[in-house]
Chain A
Amino acid sequence: QVQLVESGGDVVQPGRSLRLSCAGSGFTFSAFAMHWVRQAPGKGLEWVAVLSGDGSNTYYTDSVKGRFTISRDNSKNTVYLQLTSLRPEDTAVYYCARGSSETQYAHPSAYWGQGTLVTVSS
């Protein structure tokens, strides 16, 4: 069965960096785009980034452009989110979600990980 497992969340100081990972299994990883979506405590969902299945196309929400980088290693069935210059407002549970198809235009599908918590605080 399809499974997504995030890791890497931590408590970090403002301005520091962190790398999140999301390992996929139960499907042909390279055939699907991958999304990161975050949820601040008590708030709604905020879409963060998407990367196409072959790793060639990306989109980011404006608030993270230039600070966050999405990447993937299809040989390891893993997608990453590198977070730099972290701010308190980046505090959230970060979910990875499989896209509905290979392209960056694919919507976040039925498959989501359990989330990993990033807390940015001094």
Chain B
Amino acid sequence: QSVLTQPPSASGTPGQRVTISCSGSSSNIGSNNVYWYQQLPGTAPKLLIYEINQRPSGVPDRFSGSKSGTSASLAISGLRSEDEADYHCATWDDSLSGPWVFGGGTKLTVL
């Protein structure tokens, strides 16, 4: 059972905009930055969004992040087939002694 809750799956057609949610609490998302990682099939995770809404160099601006209260969202616009992957949210949790936590991951399917 992950501390952060993500929907197990999401889907969209090419060109669509999809959003993936990540729900937490006041001790984690509510008071800390949120990070998003993309994991293509059979590969290591890749940092997609840091500090809620910042993109590392090389990440297309089709990807955006946001936070409201104790929830965060990843939005992907202009969906492409190569976006089919698992997406994981992560944050620091002030109430835990093992402070970094991940969501359970969301598998995005491009129909």
Contacts and interface: CB of A to CB of B under 8 A. Distances in A.
Interface centre among B2, B98, B99 (most CB of A within 10 A): B98
Interface stretch (A12-20, A24-32, A60-68, A74-82): A60-68
A112 B96 CA distance: 24
A112 B45 contact: yes
Contacts of A105: 92
A109 B96 CA distance: 21
A53 interface: no
Interface size on A, as a range, is 20 to 34
Contacts of B39: 45
Interface in B53-68: 56
Interface string A49-64: 0100000000111100
Interface centre among B2, B44, B88 (most CB of A within 10 A): B44
Contacts of A43: 104-105
B98 A62 contact: yes
B102 A44 contact: yes
A45 B2 CA distance: 9
Interface of A: 35, 37, 43-47, 50, 59-62, 65, 95, 97, 100, 105, 107-110, 112-115
Interface of B: 2, 33, 35, 37, 39, 43-47, 50, 56, 86, 88, 90, 92, 96-105
Given A45-B45, A59-B99, A61-B98, 10 more contacts: A44-B102, A44-B104, A45-B90, A62-B98, A107-B33, A109-B47, A110-B46, A110-B47, A110-B56, A112-B44
